């Protein structure tokens, strides 16, 4: 048999946890055709690649991205494919752009720009509005020919906005007719190939003008009614940014009622030095649910979770009582509030006596400006870190962008969560918060840090955690594995060098905006459905990308 591609002599890690073995891997019509340990046995090929000394694994499956708008103008989905990702799931937390009637576009992108830290000018200039329905959006994706495979959630906040308009962020209860229309939109999205249904109850998810994102004010019964469409369809997964409101017990109830897997995303499940045991209790509750036959998993970040914010929009701090004055202000200016010693003193009192649901517990060493901790700047100036924090912002008219690394920042605390049976490695947030940060390279970070540097995982097990495990949990067939018949999504790399660069700023967004990316290290090539999309240095220029729009999933 003549093959389209043969990668010869790599140490192959199949994604299923098997030890690596040196073999030739042949590809035909986008799928793995043969794996032979005897070199030369697979026969001739139109394209051959000598990979001696390198490792070959399935492409990374990224379950938590926000490329919904970017993919309409950038089929490369930069930077994820360069960072080893060959399958990306979008629409997470219930945020996206489809369905979207023409009259709702402005509201939709303004909300998305705030909640996901995106450049509004880029969204308005770049988004291709060649759709209104979810099915039409999926068709646009197919015409766009992305470089990676993509799956898309039916999105609660998007659907609520499409149905209710701006009232979606202010009216807690839809009318019976509106709820029925929302159910119908979820149903139609699933029929069009949505991977499932996603929502958010997170109190930290705010939209344009400080209003809450629509789903966060919805009642429990609305969530149950919409997630119930998964049970009706007997397919799809449920993903939710739960916050403190949607407990593991609540998620198990939905998993039990629908018969579908449910996935939790919340900082409450992460290692936090202020409450070091809290995260693990969530995992244990989910493990108990799984033992009862109800699949409830936690999306687990393998790198410190970063929040970027300014004091113009201090969403990270709004759960502190001192910031009620910020949220409810009328005539009072923000600078007046932040300069007021009484305000600062109340904030200090909040940090000394933290209430449930807060994100920031007062460790200023974890809050950075241009990569420098606030504590270091404060020490240089011989001032209190809290005062330093506010003064820095005031000096720059509140435009200073802070990055807070508050969770998953201690290896000893994080390792048990990554190894837990109730977890799945995710939460890159790729495509979002790209003005000042980029966590899209979570997989390469995992291979470098958790496999090579710490040895917490063997290479074979680390590869499994990034590939077949997430694919299987999300019911994505024939992905995340190197075996005959599977799709040829492949990452070729040097295990001794694999990793990431520091942040690199590009000025390539529509409208001239800038973004941060990271570049891969130790990556020799990435293939999607048997077509090379990244050569180790740059994207391969293709007439059309080889990525598939995923619309069929396993039961």
pLDDT tens across 169-197, in order? 999 999 999 999 999 999 999 999 999 99
b/e map 503-519, b = 16+ CB within 10 Å: eeeeeebbeebebbbbb
Residue 93 clears pLDDT 90, i.e. is over it: yes
Segment 239-289, tens digit of pLDDT: 999 999 999 999 999 999 999 999 999 999 999 888 899 999 999 999 999
Among the residue ranges 31-45, 80-94, 213-227, the one predicted with the least confidence is 31-45
Contacts 24+ apart (CB under 8 A), 100-106: 100/129, 100/131, 100/132, 100/158, 100/161, 100/162, 101/132, 101/162, 102/129, 102/132, 103/165, 104/161, 104/162, 104/165, 105/129
- Binned at pLDDT 50, 70 and 90, residue 204 comes out as confident
Question: Looking at the predicted structure, is the pLDDT value of residue 546 above 90?
Answer: yes
From the candidate CATH numbers 3.20.20.140, 3.30.200.20, 3.30.420.40, 2.60.120.260, the one assigned to the domain spanning 60-304+408-474+486-534: 3.20.20.140
pLDDT of amino acid 41: 74
The larger pLDDT score, comparing residue 41 to residue 433, is at 433
Would you say residue 403 has pLDDT above 90? no
Q: Which of 381, 334, 324 is nearest to 358 (CA)?
A: 324
Whether this model's pTM surpasses 0.75: yes
**Confidence (pLDDT) at 243:** 92
pLDDT score, position 190? 98
- What does the pLDDT average to over 390-407? 93
Write down the domain spans for the chain: 60-304+408-474+486-534, 308-405
pLDDT score of 383 more than 80: yes
| pLDDT at residue 165, as a whole number | 95
Q: Does 38 have pLDDT greater than 80?
A: no
* Residue 526 confidence class, pLDDT cut points 50, 70, 90: very high
Q: Are 222 and 183 in contact (CB under 8 A)?
A: no
**Is the confidence at residue 405, as pLDDT, over 90?**
no
In a 13 Å sphere around the CA of 329, the CA atoms on its Cβ side amount to: 18
Locate 340 and state its tokens.
């007021």
pLDDT for 1 beyond 70: no
Is 80 exceeded by the pLDDT of residue 42? Answer: no
């Amino acid at each position: 048999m003549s093959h389209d591609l043969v990668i010869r002599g790599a140490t192959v890690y199949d994604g299923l946890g098997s030890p690596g073995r040196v073999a030739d891997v042949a590809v035909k019509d986008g799928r793995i055709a043969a794996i032979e340990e005897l070199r030369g046995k697979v026969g001739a090929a139109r394209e051959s690649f000598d990979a001696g000394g390198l490792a070959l694994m399935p492409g990374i499956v990224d379950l938590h991205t926000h490329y919904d708008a970017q993919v309409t103008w950038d089929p490369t989905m930069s930077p994820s494919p360069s960072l080893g990702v060959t399958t990306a799931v979008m629409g997470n937390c219930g945020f996206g752009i489809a369905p979207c009637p023409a009259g709702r576009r402005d509201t939709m992108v303004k909300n998305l720009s705030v909640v996901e830290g995106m450049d509004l000018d880029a969204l308005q200039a770049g988004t291709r509005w060649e759709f209104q329905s979810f099915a039409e959006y999926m068709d646009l994706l197919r015409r766009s020919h992305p470089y990676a495979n993509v799956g898309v959630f039916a999105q609660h906040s998007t659907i609520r906005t499409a149905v209710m308009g701006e009232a979606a962020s202010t009216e807690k209860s839809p009318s019976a007719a509106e709820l029925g229309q929302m159910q119908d939109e979820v149903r139609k999205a699933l029929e069009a190939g949505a991977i499932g249904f996603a929502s958010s109850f997170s109190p930290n998810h705010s939209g344009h003008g400080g209003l809450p994102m629509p789903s966060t004010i919805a009642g429990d019964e609305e969530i149950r009614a919409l997630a119930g469409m998964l049970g009706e369809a007997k397919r799809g997964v449920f993903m939710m940014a739960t916050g403190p409101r949607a407990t593991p017990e609540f998620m198990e109830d939905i998993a039990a009622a629908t018969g579908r897997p449910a996935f939790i995303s919340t900082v409450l499940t992460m290692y936090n030095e202020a409450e070091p045991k809290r995260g693990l209790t969530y995992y244990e509750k989910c493990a108990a649910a799984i033992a009862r036959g109800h699949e409830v998993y936690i999306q687990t970040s393998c790198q410190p979770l970063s929040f970027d914010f300014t004091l113009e929009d201090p969403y990270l701090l709004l759960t502190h009582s001192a910031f009620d004055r910020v949220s409810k202000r009328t005539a009072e200016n923000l600078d007046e509030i932040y300069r007021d010693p009484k305000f600062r003193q109340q904030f200090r009192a909040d940090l000394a006596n933290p209430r449930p649901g807060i994100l920031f517990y007062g460790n200023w060493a974890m809050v950075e400006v241009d990569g420098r901790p606030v504590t270091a700047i404060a020490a240089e100036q011989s001032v209190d870190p809290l005062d330093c924090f506010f003064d820095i912002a005031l000096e720059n008219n509140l435009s200073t962008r802070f990055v807070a690394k508050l969770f998953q920042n201690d290896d000893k605390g994080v390792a048990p969560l990554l190894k837990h049976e109730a977890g799945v490695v995710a939460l890159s947030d790729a495509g979002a918060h790209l003005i000042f940060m980029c966590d899209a390279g979570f997989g390469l970070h995992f291979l470098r840090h958790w496999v090579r540097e710490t040895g917490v995982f063997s290479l074979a097990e680390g590869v499994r955690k990034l590939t077949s495990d997430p694919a299987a949990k999300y019911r994505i067939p024939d992905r995340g594995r190197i075996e005959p018949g599977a799709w040829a999504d492949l990452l070729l790399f040097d295990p001794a060098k694999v990793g990431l660069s520091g942040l690199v700023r590009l000025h390539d967004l529509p409208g001239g905006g800038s973004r941060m990316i990271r570049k891969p290290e130790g990556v020799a090539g990435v293939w999607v459905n048997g077509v090379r999309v990244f050569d180790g240095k740059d994207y391969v220029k293709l007439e059309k990308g080889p990525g598939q729009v995923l619309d069929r999933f396993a039961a």
